[in-house]
Structure formats: structure tokens, C-alpha cells
């Protein structure tokens, strides 16, 4: 079974926000495009959504937030996903501050890969960008190590490219090379002090040994002398939308067809997987690309 939306796009992944709570206050945060109503999705509902989605052909679930590690029951939730959908790959995006203590248990529960947000290796800059406390950057670095030791693979670092941290990209490439992690350079969504990712990509392209293009969002992945760098450019990118394979679940239990829209969500009112299956089919019918190219207004 493969879900296909009215624009011919296959749906293979679920991006589920499990809480809107967060321990950091990143200056640029898009809150996964959510306008939260304050409820938090129950573990039972989250598991039943994954159950229904897997029956409809979804192959991967990315857990996000807020900060997913704010949830004490995340290990149980992941074990629940694993039980109802054994073939589905489970990954997380986390700021990594609390990862050191939990990486092993998360991996044992069934988590297979991790994206860890890291916008700077400089403690002062890291604090300015993320609102972190003294010592948090060291915790994140320990969390990266714990993720690797626990066998999460791949571990990717998410760096949102800003004016303020652009100068750190060579150092971040070196850090990712020496630690065996993939660096994702992400274009800032929305208004804000965005770095010049286009020039950055041109420089990386000139130095790279080669690149390949991933199916999802047509992301380019460059290989540079042992380092791997992925470029994520969602803004005004028709390719990004044309190759979007994701359905979103908000932290308050709604199905959300697009990061950039809030007018076409569907509330999940029942924990019955059959009813959730019906809602998923309905929300897939509502999917439309946000950026459509030269002949549209976006
Ligand atoms: N707290 C978790 C974390 O830090 O990964 C999960 C939530 S966070 C919203 C998920 C990812 O979205 C992070 O890697 C973050 O850097 C990225 N992000 C947040 N706001 C963004 C924005 N305005 N533009 C681009 N990426 C953004």
C-alpha cells in the first residue's frame, strides 16, 4: 500500500511532534509550523496514529517537538511504535541537551537514528542563539557521543545557517568529519537573520569530491574528503514541495498536511486506528504543494 496525494506525491514519512514544551528558546524557532492549543498528544493516540499510518504504507516516523526529550515516557512511546509497526524506522530530532542520559534506553526501545541540533561550537554564540544555560553545549556534545556509542545511525547535526554562525561552517564540517556524523545545513525559514546558504553551497560544491540528490525534498548531499554535508533549502523551493513525502502530526493531536499552512488541519478525536486511518486518507486528499513554481503566486 502506498499513499499518493492529489499531486502524485507519495507519502512515506510521518513527522510527529510529541510536545510543544522545550528547554531552549532558539531565536529562529518555527515550532514545526504549529499554532498549539496547549493539549499534549497522549501516548495511546501517538501509538495508534503510527499503527494506522503504517497500515497505509508509512515507512518512517520522525519524532520532534518542542523538545521530545521533555517527555518522560518517550522510551515507552517508541517501544509502542515498534510493537504496532515493527517495520517502520523511528528517528528523532532533538536539541541533545538531555540525550546523554537517555540515548542507550532510546536505542534499546527501538530508536534507530538521530538528528541533533547544533548551531554553534562556541559556547557564547550557542547560548545567544539558543537561550541555553551555561554547560548545555557540553551536554549536547556528550549527547552526540552517547548517540554514537548507543549505535544510533546515522547521527546528523542540524545547523540552521544564520549571519551569526556562517563563519563556523568550516569548523562544523571538520567536527562532523572527525566525529563520523553528517552535517545538515538548513536554510532559515521565515523572517530573520539568515545566512547566505547559496554562496555556502557554491563553495562546498567547488570543494566536494561529488554529490548525490536524495529523493526527499531533492536534498543535495556533498562528499568532502570524508565529511558528508546535506543542504536543506525549503524556502521558495518548488522542488522541496514537489518531493515532499511527509505528513505531520501536531503536538496537540492534529494531522497537518504542510509545515507552512495552518488552514487545512484535521483534529484526531478518536484513538481508534480505523477512524485514524480514515482521517489520514482525508488529510492526504487535502495536501497541496505550498511552493508551486513560475505559474503560481508562490
Ligand atoms: N527541539 C528539537 C530540536 O532541536 O531538534 C525538535 C524541534 S526543532 C523545531 C526541529 C528542527 O527544526 C531543528 O533542527 C531546528 O534547528 C529546526 N528549525 C527550527 N526553526 C527553524 C527555522 N525557522 N528554519 C529552519 N529550521 C528550523
Over residues 45-94, the pLDDT tens digits come to 999 999 999 999 999 999 999 999 999 999 999 999 999 999 999 999 99
The CB of 91 under 6 Å from ligand 1? The reply is: no
- In the prediction, which pLDDT does 46 show? 97
What's the rounded mean pLDDT across residues 224-240? 86
Q: Output the CA torsion sign for 256, 258, 261, 263.
A: negative
State yes or no: pLDDT of 155 exceeds 70.
yes
The CB of 30 under 6 Å from ligand 1? The reply is: yes
Distance (Å) from CA 91 to ligand 1 centroid: 15
Distance (Å) from CA 105 to ligand 1 centroid: 23
Ligand 1 atom index nearest CA of 29? 20
The CB of 188 under 6 Å from ligand 1? The reply is: yes
- In the prediction, which pLDDT does 293 show? 62
- Beta-bridge partners for 249: 16, 255
Range with lowest mean pLDDT among 38-42, 86-90, 221-225: 38-42
Give the mean pLDDT of the chain.
Answer: 93
Distance (Å) from CA 94 to ligand 1 centroid: 9
- In the prediction, which pLDDT does 223 show? 98
The CB of 94 under 6 Å from ligand 1? The reply is: yes
Triad 275, 262, 59: Cα angle to 5°: 50
If you take atom 15 of ligand 1, which residue's CA is the nearest one? 117
Within 13 Å of residue 233, how many CA atoms lie on the same side as its CB? 17
% of the chain with per-residue pLDDT over 70: 96
Fold of the domain built from segment(s) 3-154+236-295: TIM Barrel (3.20.20)
Tens-digit pLDDT profile for residues 106-146: 999 999 999 999 999 999 999 999 999 999 999 999 999 99
- In the prediction, which pLDDT does 236 show? 64
Distance (Å) from CA 29 to ligand 1 centroid: 6
φ/ψ of 268, rounded to 5, equals -90, 110
DSSP-derived pairing of the beta strands 210-213 and 13-17: unpaired
- In the prediction, which pLDDT does 296 show? 47
Give the whole-angstrom CA distance, residue 179 versus residue 6.
42
- In the prediction, which pLDDT does 11 show? 94
Ligand 1 atom index nearest CA of 159? 16
- In the prediction, which pLDDT does 295 show? 45
Distance (Å) from CA 41 to ligand 1 centroid: 19
Tens-digit pLDDT profile for residues 92-116: 999 999 999 999 999 999 999 999 9
Amino acid at each position: 500500500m502506498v499513499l499518493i496525494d492529489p499531486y502524485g506525491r507519495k507519502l512515506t514519512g510521518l513527522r510527529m511532534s510529541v510536545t510543544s514544551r522545550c528547554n531552549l528558546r532558539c531565536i529562529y524557532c518555527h515550532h514545526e509550523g504549529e499554532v498549539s492549543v496547549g493539549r499534549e498528544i497522549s501516548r495511546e493516540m501517538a501509538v495508534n496514529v503510527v499503527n494506522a499510518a503504517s497500515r497505509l504504507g508509512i515507512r518512517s516516523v520522525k519524532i520532534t517537538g518542542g523538545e521530545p526529550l521533555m517527555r518522560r515516557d518517550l522510551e515507552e512511546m517508541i517501544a509502542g511504535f515498534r510493537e504496532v509497526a515493527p517495520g517502520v524506522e523511528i528517528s528523532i530530532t532533538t536539541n541533545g541537551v538531555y540525550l546523554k542520559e537517555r540515548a542507550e534506553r532510546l536505542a534499546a526501545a527501538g530508536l534507530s537514528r538521530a538528528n541533533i541540533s547544533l548551531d554553534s561550537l562556541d559556547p557564547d554564540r550557542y547560548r545567544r542563539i539558543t537561550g541555553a544555560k551555561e554547560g548545555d553545549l557540553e551536554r549536547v556534545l556528550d549527547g552526540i557521543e552517547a548517540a554514537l556509542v548507543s549505535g544510533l545511525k546515522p547521527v546528523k547535526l542540524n545547523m540552521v545557517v544564520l549571519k551569526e554562525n556562517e563563519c563556523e561552517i568550516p569548523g562544523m564540517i571538520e567536527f562532523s568529519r572527525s566525529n563520523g556524523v553528517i552535517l545538515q545545513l538548513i536554510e532559515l525559514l521565515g523572517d530573520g537573520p539568515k545566512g547566505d546558504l547559496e554562496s555556502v553551497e557554491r563553495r562546498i560544491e567547488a570543494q566536494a569530491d561529488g554529490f548525490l540528490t536524495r529523493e526527499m525534498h531533492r536534498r543535495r548531499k556533498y562528499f568532502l574528503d570524508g565529511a558528508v554535508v546535506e543542504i536543506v533549502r525549503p524556502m521558495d523551493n518548488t522542488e522541496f514541495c514537489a518531493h515532499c513525502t511527509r505528513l505531520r502530526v501536531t503536538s496537540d493531536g492534529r494531522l497537518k498536511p504542510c509545515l507552512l499552512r495552518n488552514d487545512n488541519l484535521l483534529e484526531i478525536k478518536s484513538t481508534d486506528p480505523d477512524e485514524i486511518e480514515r482521517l489520514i486518507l482525508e488529510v492526504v486528499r487535502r495536501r497541496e504543494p505550498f511552493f508551486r513554481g513560475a505559474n503560481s503566486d508562490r
